[in-house]
A = this chain, B = another copy of it.
């Protein structure tokens, strides 16, 4: 780690990409955001988005991000290739592919960016009413997997117990304040990572953690640049739920609310598990 690195936030080190020309970027996995058998999915999502945002032809802010986790990302270097599929007046459509040499494609993503616009607006739903972060205890993450310790999580509802298979199924809904640890001002790239920061739902409802992996993750960004910046480094309120666990897959849907009660992003994913 060089002098510059020691002054950078671990998130910025983990999502640093070096352009090598022609829409291609090189990066490396980070120990801070390591999960059990590979990098935290959220950091991979953040990298796929970062590559598009760094592209010289990119206009506007992200509106949609879908990440497909095709195979395990190995520790070390990777390359991300970005392709502008369609350049429209109001939206740009991007395809992104992460590869690791002979290991082939580890991750694919699609990103839609949209021009900044002021329009009619309407909030059809409001943030849940919960105690402020200062009144909720931080979850003790001692001994937990790397990436979880890169976040401060304060559960209002649905904190997993990590006690193994429970005698009774618990509800799937969770509500928690969350922010980077150490704190860092929010941007779209960290919002993309946060959209995968909800704990695996099977752990919450069943109590144990089988072999499990997110297969596909989609995040829609409803906030514009100013609204993202207004959040600063305060806690976001993450709300997450699941509807069905069947045939080795479950759905998961989440919301990320600003400290001021504004919906910044919504996210959904499908999760694979072994048994």
Contact = CB atoms under 8 A, between A and B. Distances in A.
Contacts of A117: 247-248
Interface stretch (A27-35, A128-136, A184-192, A267-275): A267-275
* Contact residues of A: prevailing secondary structure: strand
A84 to B, nearest CB: 10
Interface in A26-74: 63-64, 66, 68, 70-71
A247 B121 contact: yes
Nearest to A104: B86
A22 to B, nearest CB: 19
A92 B162 CA distance: 31
A76 to B, nearest CB: 19
Number of copies: 2
A193 interface: no
Given A205-B122, A215-B91, A222-B247, A85 B70 contact: yes
A218 to B, nearest CB: 4
B86 A70 contact: yes
A266 interface: yes
Enumerate the 9 nearest inter-chain pairs by beta-carbon distance, A residue then B residue, closest first: A70-B86, A220-B270, A70-B93, A124-B172, A64-B216, A122-B245, A121-B246, A218-B218, A125-B243
Given A85-B105, A85-B108, A119-B247, 4 more contacts: A63-B272, A66-B68, A71-B88, A122-B205
